[in-house]
Amino acid sequence: MQRFILKRKNHITLISAILIVIGFIAKLGFKNETAATLPLAIASLLGLAPIAIQAYQALLVKVVSIDVLVTIAVIGAFLIKNLEESAIVTFLFLFGSFLEQRTLSKTRSAIKELTEMAPESALKQVENGEFEEVDVDEVDVGDILLVKTGAKVPVDGTVLKGEGHINEASITGEAAAVGKKKGSKVYAGTILENGTIQIIADRVGEDTTFGKIIELVEKAQDSKSEAERFIDKFSKYYTPVVLVLSAVVWIFSRNTELAITMLVLGCPGALVIGVPVSNVAGIGNGARHGVLLKGSEVIHDFSRTDTIVFDKTGTLTVGKPKVVDMQIYAQNSDEVLAYLASVEGESDHPLAKAIVEHIGNIKLYSVEKTDVIKGGGVVARVNGHRVAVGNVFLMEQENVQLSEKALSDIQRFENVGSSLVLTAIDGQLKALVGIRDQIRPKVAENLKKLKKLGVKSLVVLSGDNQKAVDLAAQELGLTKAYGGMLPKDKSEYIEKLKDEGKIVAFVGDGVNDSPSLALAQIGIAMGNGTDVAIETSDVVLMNSEFDRLPHALGLAKATARNMRQNIIIAVGVVLVLLASVLFGEWMNMSIGMLVHEASILAVIINGMRLLRYRLKY
């Protein structure tokens, strides 16, 4: 019976409204008090049913909820034969609940849009080589799939055949189509705008980037900030206090109607709902714009950030460095380059890829006993020789003597901002490579936006040489720049900033800087949707576009500000209503409940403004 009644709350609200109208027509139109009594009494009892059930369910788990207050107030009004008040109060409470759910569903629209983007079917290659439509859950890693124009990509995969342009807005927040060809990575939930491609499934189901985005956003909605936890605790004790206050008012005044009115007007509905609706709307806005904010606690901390620390390569720069200079200190340069390419071919580091690309096709040797030196480079056994490839720090560890010519070349390369990769074979320096990366477009402009948003200090920490880091910092207008930093040095610097009372956000690629991402109050990954980026950071900029960072910070600040506004609205309305009951003569239950429900709608509508938030400068 309880479930039956609760499922029909909206129908009960409509019937109550009709009965109240009939009652007032009988009373005011036909001056018939007796005829008005029955519809108003039925409206009161009918409207009270779902409210009383919710109150009972709350009391079962030892919670004195808002429904308890309203139930007591309506029963009291009914007993003193104030049927107009009891009928109107129940209707307004139910109607307010209806509007609350409708408007709240709109704040979750961004999340709903995400889940609706999830692909449901796929064209899978079967044994005879034909493609057959199957449920997306039936696709396994390694399956070959066909994607046609206008269709959703069903899984994360790699293009095997064909070319086309894909709209990746569901992943990156950017609607501009991205060209794809053989070897390109594609993501579930994106849409092939033109062309036809065959892909091999790399990740399926919940393991896809899109699946993880949905999971993270849903978790973020359910997380609670410090403000929400305080409000939950406040409401838990506030409601019994209102009951006691009403009892005290009745004891001293013997005015039952006044005491019942106190119960109705003391309901903290807007306070309870104001902060969560701001969080949901803020997280939804971020999801639409390729920014993942992992919960309300993250929003709270991020909004107070006063120091942002950046990794350089792949964060402030494009992350696709190129060889701009090379010096060989040996007669057999081809053999040196072959050793260098063989070692660097084993690495996924951007500098290693740049070297392999620059050297091009060359005879390669098998690489054995590879030893990665953290913050230094790689030492390996190649064709019976000990080959060390890395920075000056690694050369010092390997006791490699640097000639005056080599030292002069190193200085020259550093003066133009190049990163250095040195190669030693059997303890002798054989090659020096200068590599430079391009600064991301509009980074300087976006750093200015961060300063306007209240960030006082912008710092770059990099493993590159100090000169290269200084040149980048000077070009971008950064506050401080530190080069030659090992991962441990970066972590120690962040700890130092935290000890000084700074609220620190660290921006990195989510792979090499995971210790720093974890240590900072806010870890921000320029991740292109990679697994490591999503898992290790608090904020993910899904398309790795730097201009998403000012939007993310501005959104966090706007959301935190919106929460405070909602708290002020909620508390202010309750105080005004209670003061009006105690010290004014115009206030009654119906007016009070109308204002009360209006305050709930006010905080919801205020929160919904965040769905349209865009940074103004």
Residues tagged active-site: 311
The three-class DSSP label of residue 426 is coil
CA distances to 162, 330, 372, 395, 532 from 387, in Å: 41, 14, 12, 11, 30
Q: HSE, CB side, 13 Å, CA atoms: give it for residue 323.
A: 17
Two tokens, residue 26? 């009988």
Cβ distance 144 to 168 under 8 Å? Answer: no
Cβ distance 464 to 313 under 8 Å? Answer: yes
Q: Which residues pair with 461 in a beta bridge?
A: 311, 482
Q: What's the residue count for the chain?
A: 617
Two tokens, residue 298? 């993250």
Question: Across the chain, how many H-helices and E-strands are there?
Answer: 23, 20
Q: How far apart are CA 613 and CA 606, in angstroms?
A: 12
Which contiguous run of DSSP H or E holds residue 353?
A: helix 350-359
Q: How far apart are CA 24 and CA 39, in angstroms?
A: 9
Q: DSSP states of 69-127 as a string?
A: HHHHHHHHHHHTT-HHHHHHHHHHHHHHHHHHHHHHHHHTHHHHHHHHHS--EEEEE-T
Angle at which helix 109-117 crosses helix 209-222, to 10 degrees, equals: 160
Helix boundaries (H) for 443-510? 443-452, 466-476, 487-499
